[in-house]
C-alpha cells in the first residue's frame, strides 16, 4: 500500500468530536489511503468507520488506545488489528470503561469540593454513550459556564497536576501487550515525548511492545529522528498519526488528519506482524 496513512485518530466513540464516519470522510478528503481508528479503551466506532471506509475508499484498521501502567506511570499504548468481537478483549475494555465512569464521578465530586458544581448527567451527555474521559468533564464545565474553554478546564482543574485530577485505574503494560499479541494484534507506544530514550524503548520492547509512535504532533524533529534510528536498532516497528480529536483538540494535538504524512509502508510492516501472528502469511 502506498500513499499517506494516519494511524492515530479519535471519534465520538471516546473523546473525539466527530463521529467515526465523519473522521473517515475527512481522511478521504485529505487524500489519506488508510486510517486506524484508535479511540480510548473502545472499539465501538470501528464498524461504522469501516462501513464508511468502504464507500469512500479509505482502508480502516481496527484499533484502540489503551491506557496502561508502565514503570514510571501512565503509558498510552496503541493496539492495531484488533478483533472486533472477541469476548475476552471486549470484557477487558468494558472493565476499563467502567473504571473511567467511576473516576469521572470522583472528578465531579472533587470539583464540587472546590465549589465548582457540574452534574454527572451533563458529563454523561457529553460522552453520549462513548468511553468517558476528562474532555467530557471539560465540555460539561464549559456548558455550565464554569470555564470559557476546554483548555481552561484542563489548565485550572483537570490537568495531571490539577486540583480535580483523579488517576484512572490502569492495567499493567504486560497484561495488555500479551493480550493483544495473543489475539493477533500489534502494539505501539504512543507519544513518548521526553520519555523517548533508547533505554526506555529497549525496556518497552522487552515488555512486549512491538513498535513506537515516531510521528506525533508533540514530537519535534529531533525526537522523530532519534525514534527512527532507535526503532531500527531495536527492530521495533514504526507508527504515526495526527491524534486528531477534532478541530478544538488539545494544544499539542492540533494537526489535521494526514498532515504528518505517515508512509503507507509503516502500516504494511505492522500488518506483516499481524499476519504472522494470526498464521496467514500472505
**Which residue ranges make up the site for ligand AMP (CB under 6 A)?**
15, 40, 133-135, 150-151, 154, 168, 245, 250-251
The radius of gyration of the chain from alpha carbons, rounded to an integer in Å, stands at 18
Q: Which is nearer to ligand AMP, 216 or 245 (CB)?
A: 245
Q: Which is nearer to Fe ion, 6 or 15 (CB)?
A: 15
Shortest distance, position 107 Cβ to Fe ion, whole Å: 15
Choose among Zn ion, Fe ion, ligand AMP, none what residue 250 binds, the Cβ cut-off being 5 to 8 Å by kind.
ligand AMP
Q: Which is nearer to Fe ion, 131 or 231 (CB)?
A: 131
Cβ proximity of 52 and 20 under 8 Å? yes
The region of 110-118, 212-220, 227-235, 239-247 touching Zn ion under the rule CB under 5 A is 239-247
* Sequence-separated contacts (24+) of 66-71 with Cβ below 8 Å: 66/41, 66/96, 66/171, 66/176, 67/40, 67/41, 67/96, 67/168, 67/170, 68/170, 68/171, 68/172, 68/173, 68/175, 68/176, 69/170, 69/171, 69/172, 69/173, 70/173, 70/204, 70/207, 71/203
Choose among Fe ion, Zn ion, ligand AMP, none what residue 150 binds, the Cβ cut-off being 5 to 8 Å by kind.
ligand AMP
Shortest distance, position 244 Cβ to Zn ion, whole Å: 9
Q: Which is nearer to Fe ion, 76 or 219 (CB)?
A: 76
Cell triple for residue 97? 470503561
C-alpha–C-alpha distance, residues 155 and 133, integer Å: 16
C-alpha–C-alpha distance, residues 272 and 104, integer Å: 38
Shortest distance, position 2 Cβ to ligand AMP, whole Å: 30
The region of 64-72, 89-97, 101-109, 263-271 touching Zn ion under the rule CB under 5 A is 64-72
207 in contact with Zn ion (CB under 5 A): no
Q: Which is nearer to ligand AMP, 87 or 251 (CB)?
A: 251
Shortest distance, position 210 Cβ to ligand AMP, whole Å: 21
Q: Which is nearer to Zn ion, 136 or 146 (CB)?
A: 136
Binds Zn ion (CB under 5 A): choice among 37, 96, 243, 270: 243
Q: Which is nearer to ligand AMP, 99 or 208 (CB)?
A: 99
C-alpha–C-alpha distance, residues 131 and 274, integer Å: 26
Shortest distance, position 40 Cβ to Zn ion, whole Å: 7
Shortest distance, position 198 Cβ to ligand AMP, whole Å: 26
Shortest distance, position 140 Cβ to ligand AMP, whole Å: 13
Indicate the helix (H) or strand (E) that contains 282.
none
Side-chain half-sphere of 227: how many Cα atoms within 13 Å? 25
C-alpha–C-alpha distance, residues 253 and 240, integer Å: 13
- 12: nearest Cα among 93, 130, 163: 130
Give contact residues for Zn ion (rule: CB under 5 A): 65, 243
Amino acid at each position: 500500500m502506498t500513499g499517506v496513512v494516519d494511524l492515530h485518530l479519535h471519534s465520538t466513540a471516546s473523546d473525539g468530536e466527530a463521529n467515526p464516519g465523519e473522521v473517515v470522510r475527512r481522511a478521504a478528503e485529505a487524500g489519506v489511503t488508510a486510517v486506524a481508528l484508535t479511540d480510548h479503551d473502545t472499539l465501538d466506532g470501528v464498524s461504522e468507520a469501516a462501513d464508511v471506509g468502504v464507500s469512500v475508499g479509505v482502508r480502516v484498521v481496527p484499533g484502540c488506545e489503551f491506557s496502561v501502567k508502565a514503570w514510571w506511570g501512565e503509558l498510552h499504548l496503541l493496539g492495531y488489528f484488533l478483533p472486533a468481537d472477541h469476548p475476552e478483549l471486549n470484557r477487558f475494555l468494558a472493565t476499563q470503561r467502567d473504571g473511567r465512569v467511576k473516576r469521572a464521578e470522583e472528578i465531579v465530586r472533587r470539583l464540587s469540593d472546590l465549589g465548582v458544581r457540574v452534574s454527572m448527567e451533563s458529563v454523561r451527555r457529553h460522552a453520549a454513550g462513548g468511553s468517558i474521559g476528562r474532555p467530557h468533564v471539560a465540555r460539561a464545565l464549559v456548558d455550565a459556564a464554569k470555564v470559557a474553554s476546554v483548555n481552561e478546564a484542563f489548565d485550572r482543574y483537570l490537568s495531571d497536576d490539577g486540583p480535580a485530577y483523579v488517576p484512572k485505574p490502569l492495567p499493567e503494560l504486560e497484561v495488555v501487550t500479551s493480550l493483544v499479541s495473543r489475539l493477533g494484534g500489534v502494539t505501539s507506544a504512543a507519544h513518548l515525548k521526553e520519555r523517548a530514550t533508547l533505554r526506555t524503548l529497549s525496556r518497552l520492547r522487552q515488555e512486549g511492545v512491538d513498535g513506537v509512535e515516531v510521528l506525533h504532533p508533540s514530537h519535534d524533529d529531533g525526537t522523530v529522528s532519534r525514534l527512527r534510528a532507535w526503532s531500527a536498532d531495536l527492530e521495533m516497528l514504526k507508527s504515526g498519526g495526527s491524534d486528531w480529536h477534532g478541530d478544538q483538540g488539545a494544544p499539542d494535538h492540533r494537526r489535521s488528519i494526514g498532515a504528518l504524512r505517515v508512509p503507507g509502508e509503516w502500516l504494511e510492516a505492522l500488518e506483516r506482524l499481524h499476519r504472522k501472528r494470526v498464521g496467514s502469511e500472505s
